[in-house]
Structure 1
Amino acid sequence: FTAMGGYAPTIGIIGTVIGLIHVLENLNKPETLGELIAAAFVATLWGVLSANVFWLPMAAKITRTSDLQAAQMNLLVEGISEIQAGTSPRTVRQKLTSLVPPSEAASLRVVS
């Protein structure tokens, strides 16, 4: 999605160039030039709009979700490793809590 966000404006420019080629083909019909030029530049608008409204926001959301899931899995692996090593439950809790951001650590429940 990030790559498409980078390519979309370029594809829009290519559409504009193709549209302007059609404008040059119709120079003998001045009454159609305005419409053809407008249509050509709409391709650029669509390219930039799709990049900034669809592709890049989707890429950012997928990246953020992936990063959060990776952090959760790392925390899980760390906890399992500590339990498997025979570390006391209180020490495991303290170690895992230290790995959680302070803003989220306050919301953790104390399970006794």
Structure 2
Amino acid sequence: MGRAREASAHRLAAILGITRDRITVSADPTRTEGGRAWTRLTVTDHGVYAFIAADNDPARLLCLGPCPQCGNHVPLTALRHLADLGDLLEHRARQRNAVTLPLAQELVADPAHRSRCPFHRD
């Protein structure tokens, strides 16, 4: 598991153009796959930015942010390149009115949704 977490951190650093030491790696407290916690990556630089590696796959980095329905922090959109983060920040700045994000498939049924959220699944 340690190699996958480090690979995720290095991939995130490369995408964001920062050094690896600016990324905190931890086990995500909410999301698991096969009993293993997904990798959570946090960057604190002019704000706090949180990401996860879906299924602990460094090739499947997702930006965490408030659900458009319930407000809880869930995987919103994929992070493949820096422009994806820019789209998310623009989306937040315009209060979800002007930019439509391509939502991550992991958004649906994420365990962090509130029970009455339309994205919540039992």
Question: Which TM bucket (shorter chain)?
Answer: under 0.3
| RCO higher in structure (CA 8 A, sep ≥6) | 1
Q: Which has the larger radius of gyration?
A: 1
Report which of the two has the higher share of helix.
1
